[in-house]
């Protein structure tokens, strides 16, 4: 069956000229910093931004060159001048605006694949019109090499083959975490080697070559400034070489700024943390980054909060390797107190989760939970909340931190004037009134008690961390599986790991949100509590519907971990029956096909609550016991998008895509050193404002060219 928005016209793969933008407001919080704190913030921000350029090399083969091209155009002259020259050679206003939106998309997503959704986007103007802009520009006049970049990049920039439509491995999509000749079989043998060598692959990429004798060689390259060969050996009749030196030029810039940031640290823990990060980026050591993370966990209640490194593994098709990310933010101490109250009540809330104490951590490790105003965040997808570090050994035994990125949450989820898709008018009005409050509750519970709960049954060199008499509550038999020596959650759950864990955390939030005491912690009372409960659940189900756009019929795969998780939860709510949750096809006010989501709020506790509790228990037991077989059967089952049954999701996906509202691109500010003080500049929430923020951020196209050519040369011809 052909689905109109996955057809060859590419209409689903452009950013509209009406693309929304939102400014990340931070001026008030930033102005309260001392001179030392502002300097610390500035250099951490610079380290994050230079590290962010790594994401381009992790996304697609053409992303770095596209960035170079548009950045040269935008740095070469003011936008008004570029527009005048473009219009003079026949480019229309609409076409030039499409160029600005495309350039903003490249900046905002750090490449030509969406940070949320992993689908490719192409210019919403013809190749001919784009070429006119390039050739008319001052940049092309000043640099003849720019025309070569255009010639090299215009093909892949516009190409929309089935493989190129989304990120993936082998024939299923594009990835830079593996060389282009790799597939799932290559991933499997590499994973076995990593387990055999007890190597964690967070900061690695895999490059495969075939020797003259036909022998396969895999290079596992660690991100690092220094280049060296760590080991070479034969494994399963293949040659394996472990090296360092990936992204070396960019990581050197990261370290230059981290060195400066350390000079303005507030305490020894911050200095030690940065020293370990520098060491990690210099020699490619995950252990050093772990040591830095340990210092970070211990640094309680700082005024300026930060984290940087190879952190989230959402975009590696196999769920092992991580994208670079860096953020620096100012702590809102007043609102942080609310979240610390949640921490104070955690040990009363954890027993309310639907599993026995044997399946909970032996001891709740009280984290720092802060409400932040982000100054700089270099990531393909700027989150609203984070629970880090992602290292299971540290999270299980030593602790973690939770952060809510308040100004991000408000920018993404502020009140919209337009009608919310797929809701009744009454639900839409209530949704607008309580959406931000409900989302704060869900994010808080998700991060602290979702990601922060649950025990993994593991075998270590010291023995097992559980009793041999432990009974699996789902089978009522002794445990048959657990994490063996050298195994961890990522190596067992691989491709579903990120989405499965997000689903578990979201389900924890829903489960606990029905407890009024949980909502009261966030400062709500009376009738507001009941409204927030309802909107929390309605919002989650709504997310399951709108998340359908993140499913690719071409590859029969989900492209976004959170969207898949919410769709799975929606399926569970629909399965609960008794008229609790319904999705029906209707005719919209515009006469076109539409969907209507309804939820009987009187049955939240009696129908919805028990359904989620039962599902959540399975999620946790399968995770605790490393039971990937049962987890896959359940999770893949709920993830199916077909036209079978009473909910023809594959057909309904067209309705969702046709009515989708594009996520706003966030416009972040810049800090600069001026007269020994740090000044903050913020920009208009528009394509022009976002472009200006990046030309101010990286004003030297010569520097960008030199850095990129260095990394490209080091990469070789693997893509």
CA distance 187 to 185: 5
| Contact in structure between 545 and 553 (CB atoms under 8 Å) | no
Query: Which candidate in 260, 312, 447, 688 is catalytic?
Result: 447
CB contact at 8 A, 138 and 81:
yes
Task: Please list, in sequence order, all residues whose beta carbon lies within 8 angstroms of the beta carbon of residue 42, skipping any fewer than 6 positions away.
Answer: 671, 672, 673, 678
> How much is the pLDDT for 1?
24
Look at residues 21, 105, 36 and name the one whose alpha carbon lies nearest to residue 67. Answer: 105
User: What percent of the chain is predicted at pLDDT more than 90?
Assistant: 84
Residue 238 DSSP SS3: strand
Return the pLDDT at 10: 52
pTM to 2 decimal places: 0.85
Residue among 279, 300, 297 nearest 288 (CA): 279
Burial of 525 (0-12, 13-18, 19+ CB in 10 A): exposed
Local confidence band at 716 (pLDDT 50, 70, 90 cut-offs)? confident
For residues 508 and 515, is the Cβ–Cβ distance under 8 A?
Answer: no
* Residue 392, pLDDT score: 85
pLDDT, residue 338, reads 86
Query: DSSP letters of 318-338?
Result: TS-S-EEEEEEEEE-HHHHHH
The answer to whether the Cα torsion of 575, 577, 582, 584 is positive or negative is: positive
Q: Is 123 helix (H, G, I), strand (E, B) or coil?
A: coil
Secondary structure (3-state) at 663: coil
User: Residue 410 above 90 pLDDT?
Assistant: no
Q: Catalytic site residue 575?
A: no
**Average per-residue pLDDT in the chain?**
94
Whether residue 142 has pLDDT greater than 70: yes
**Helix (H, G, I), strand (E, B), or coil: what is residue 270?**
helix
Q: How would you list the strands of the sheet with 304-312, edge to edge?
A: 304-312, 323-331, 368-378, 401-405, 385-388
Give CA angle at 469 (465, 475), nearest 5°. Answer: 105
Tell me 677's DSSP state: E
Per-residue pLDDT tens digits for 283-324: 999 999 999 999 999 999 899 999 999 999 989 999 999 999
Q: Does the structure show a pLDDT above 70 at 7?
A: no
Q: With 50 as the cut, is the pLDDT of residue 166 above it? A: yes
- CA–CA distance, 529 with 377 (Å, rounded to integer): 32
Longest distance between any two alpha carbons in the chain, whole Å? 80
**What is the rounded CA–CA span in Å between residue 484 and residue 492?**
10
Range 669-696 average pLDDT: 96
> Per 3-state DSSP, what percentage of the chain is helix, strand, and coil (rounded to 5)?
50, 15, 30
Pick from 257, 318, 309, 253: which is nearest to 284 by CA? 309
Q: What is the pLDDT of residue 2?
A: 25
If one counts every other C-beta atom within 10 angstroms of the C-beta of residue 345, the result is 16
Spatial CA neighbour of 640 closest among 550, 539, 558, 547:
558
pLDDT (average), residues 621-649: 96
Residue 5 scores a pLDDT above 60: no
| pLDDT mean over 226-232 | 97
With a cut of 80, say whether residue 416 has pLDDT above it.
Answer: no
pLDDT score of 409: 85
Which has more pLDDT, 265 or 468? 265
User: For residue range 537-573, what is the model confidence (pLDDT) as tens digits?
Assistant: 999 999 999 999 999 887 888 989 999 999 999 999 9
Vertex 418 angle, CA 553 and 690, to 5°: 75
Interatomic CA distance for residues 546 and 558, integer angstroms: 13
Q: Select from 195, 191, 83 the least CA-distant residue to 136.
A: 83
């Amino acid at each position: 069956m052909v689905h109109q928005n996955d057809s060859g016209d590419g209409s689903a793969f452009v950013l509209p000229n009406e693309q929304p933008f939102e400014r990340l407001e931070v001026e008030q919080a930033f102005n309260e910093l001392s001179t030392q704190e502002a300097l610390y913030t500035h250099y951490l921000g610079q380290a994050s931004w230079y590290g962010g350029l790594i994401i381009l090399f992790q996304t697609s083969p053409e992303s770095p060159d596209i960035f170079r091209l548009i950045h040269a155009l935008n740095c070469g002259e003011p936008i008004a001048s570029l527009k005048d020259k473009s219009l003079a050679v026949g480019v229309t206003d609409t076409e030039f605006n499409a160029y600005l939106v495309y350039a903003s998309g490249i900046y905002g997503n750090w490449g030509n694949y969406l940070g949320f959704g992993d689908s490719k986007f192409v210019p919403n103007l013809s190749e001919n019109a784009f070429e006119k802009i390039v050739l008319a520009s001052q940049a092309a006049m000043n640099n003849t090499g720019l025309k070569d970049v255009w010639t090299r990049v215009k093909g892949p920039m516009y190409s929309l083959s089935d493989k190129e439509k989304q990120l993936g491995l082998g024939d299923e999509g594009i990835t830079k975490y593996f060389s282009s000749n790799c597939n799932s079989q290559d991933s499997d043998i590499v994973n076995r080697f990593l387990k055999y060598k007890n190597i964690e692959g967070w900061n690695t990429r895999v490059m495969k070559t075939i020797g003259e004798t036909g022998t396969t060689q895999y290079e596992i390259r660690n991100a690092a400034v220094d280049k060296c060969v760590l080991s070479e050996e034969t494994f399963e009749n293949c040659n394996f070489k472990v090296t360092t030196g990936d992204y070396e030029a960019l990581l050197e810039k990261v370290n230059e700024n981290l060195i400066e940031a350390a000079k303005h640290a507030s305490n020894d823990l911050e200095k030690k943390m940065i020293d370990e990060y520098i060491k990690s980026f210099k020699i490619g050591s995950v252990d050093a980054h772990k040591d830095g993370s340990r210092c970070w966990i211990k640094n309680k209640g700082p005024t300026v909060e930060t984290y940087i490194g190879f952190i989230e593994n959402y975009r590696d098709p196999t769920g092992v390797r991580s994208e670079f990310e860096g953020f620096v933010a100012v702590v809102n101490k007043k609102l942080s107190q609310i979240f610390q109250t949640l921490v104070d009540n955690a040990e009363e809330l954890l027993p309310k989760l639907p599993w026995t104490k044997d399946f909970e951590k032996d001891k709740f490790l009280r984290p720092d939970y802060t409400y932040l105003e982000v100054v700089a965040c270099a990531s393909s997808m700027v989150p609203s909340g984070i629970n880090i570090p992602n290292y299971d050994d540290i999270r299980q035994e030593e602790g973690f931190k939770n952060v809510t990125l308040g100004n991000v949450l408000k920018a993404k989820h502020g009140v919209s004037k337009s009608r919310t898709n797929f809701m009744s008018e009454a639900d839409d009005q209530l949704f607008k009134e309580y959406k931000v409050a409900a989302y704060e509750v869900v994010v808080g519970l998700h991060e602290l008690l979702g990601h922060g709960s649950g025990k993994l049954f593991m075998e270590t060199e010291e023995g097992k961390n559980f009793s041999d008499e432990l009974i699996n509550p789902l089978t009522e038999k002794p445990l048959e599986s657990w994490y063996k020596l050298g195994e961890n959650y990522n190596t067992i759950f691989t491709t579903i790991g990120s989405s499965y864990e997000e689903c578990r955390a979201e389900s924890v939030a829903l489960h606990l949100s029905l407890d009024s005491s949980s909502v009261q912690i966030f400062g709500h009372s009376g009738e507001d509590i009941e409204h927030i409960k309802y909107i929390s659940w309605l919002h989650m189900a709504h997310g399951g519907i709108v998340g359908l756009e993140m499913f690719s019929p071409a590859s029969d795969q989900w492209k976004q971990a959170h969207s898949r998780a919410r769709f799975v939860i929606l399926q569970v709510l629909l399965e609960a029956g008794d008229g609790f949750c319904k999705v029906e096809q209707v005719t919209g006010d515009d006469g076109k096909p539409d969907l209507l989501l309804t939820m009987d709020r009187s049955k939240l506790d009696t129908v919805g609550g028990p359904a989620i509790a039962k599902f959540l228990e399975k999620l946790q037991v399968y995770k605790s016991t490393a039971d990937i077989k049962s987890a896959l059967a359940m999770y893949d089952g709920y993830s199916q998008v077909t036209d079978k049954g009473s909910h023809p999701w594959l057909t309904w996906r067209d309705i969702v895509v046709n009515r989708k509202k594009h996520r706003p691109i966030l416009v972040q500010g810049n800090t600069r050193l001026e007269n020994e003080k740090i000044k903050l500049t913020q920009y208009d929430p528009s394509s022009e404002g976002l472009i200006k923020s990046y030309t101010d951020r990286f004003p030297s196209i010569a520097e960008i060219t030199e850095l990129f050519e260095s990394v490209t040369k080091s990469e070789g011809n693997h893509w």
